[in-house]
Amino acid sequence: MVVCIVQKKDTETMYAMKYMNKQQCIERDEVRNVFRELEILQNIEHVFLVNLWYSFQDEEDMFMVVDLLLGGDLRYHLQQNVQFTEETVKLYVCEMALALDYLRSQHIIHRDVKPDNILLDEKGHAHLTDFNVATIIKDGERATSLAGTKPYMAPEIFHSFMNGGTGYSFEVDWWSLGIMAFELLRGWRPYDIHSSNPVESLIQLFSTVTVQYASVWSKDMIALLRKLLTVNPEHRFSSLADVQTSTYLSDVNWEEICEKKVEPGFVPNKGRLHCDPTFELEEMILESRPLHKKKKRLAKNKSRDNSKDSQSENDYLQECLDAIQQEFVIFNREKLKRCAEGARSFSCLDSTDEAEADPDPEVEAETDAGAEAESSNLTMCGSVCSAVSSS
């Protein structure tokens, strides 16, 4: 996946645009995850999420245009040895509690809450991103698969994987929130867990290791962390209503939090690039299929493909590419908002299917005919480093 900054010509709004090569997604068996992420993002919107605005495709790539947040992710700032104060972390916990509560209302478990997936805007407010392993559960269903990043995964996920049973639910995201809050305050996580640790050892770890809280932290903050890091999910804080009962958050004006009126204690430096420039440099040098040369490349590929025997050895790959082409859902949040705000007739509200088949001409593109409908109004501004996380 490559991430770049684009600007919409008519509104001059800046966005981040992620694009994923279809053939690579097929080879890595990632198509299902991409489609699931798109399905989720097209149906949600929240002040503390990184929201999807457009999705479109061409012959080579799938594109997702999302909110542009230039403050960097919390992992980067941890690596820069930023010392987060209790008040700063308190605000992050409140903002993420609102985001997670909204996701729960939409029946969504994120399953990968961690510093890498919390992006800051220029004023320092937190936004949750990356729904690649998120899942939707309804009507009392429970998730069962081993998904997420091990150091942030709740104990019941490992238990479910090893022992079967009833699975797990929304509580896992609140455990991850507790792990993240602890890490931001202390500089390391409460449990020494790495991706290489076998699941069996982790189950034993949670039953034997006691979390050590710093004596300099306020008692109320420690009490909140204890409730988020309760091993038994039935006794864990796992909703907005739960955390609102915390003494530590008793003075919070939740309406002001929602409206971003509470000033963050940490504001990213506007004059700096808040990602590792090594990744950006490597991407700019090594990107073998640059977007600005796509039109020529696609024309060349079409000419070459037309000269081939129809019984190509790549028939299976082509079938997969054709399936993606047919099943990919084109999305335009701006157009849907115009329809809703204009209170138009049912013909407008029912035009979603038409919009998918015939995208808004205002966002028509520069690449090939398949993507021309969505990106001619998006001007490439430059590459930014894509978030590659490992623990």
**Of the listed 112, 116, 121, 130, which one is catalytic?**
112
Using CA atoms, how far apart are residues 267 and 132, in angstroms rounded to an integer? 28
DSSP element (H, E) containing 149 = none
> Would you tell me the crossing angle of helices 171-186 and 86-105 to the nearest 10 degrees?
170
| Residue 32: Cβ within 10 Å count | 9
| Residue 154: Cβ within 10 Å count | 26
Instruction: Look up residue 80 and give its two tokens.
Output: 């820069």
Contacts of 352 (CB under 8 A, 6+ apart): 336
The DSSP-derived string for 230-265 is: -SSGGGS--SHHHHHT-GGGTT--HHHHHTT-SPPS
Angle made by CA atoms 33, 58, 301, in degrees to the nearest 5: 120
139 carries an active-site annotation: no
Contacts of 45 (CB under 8 A, 6+ apart): 51, 333
The catalytic site residues sit at: 112
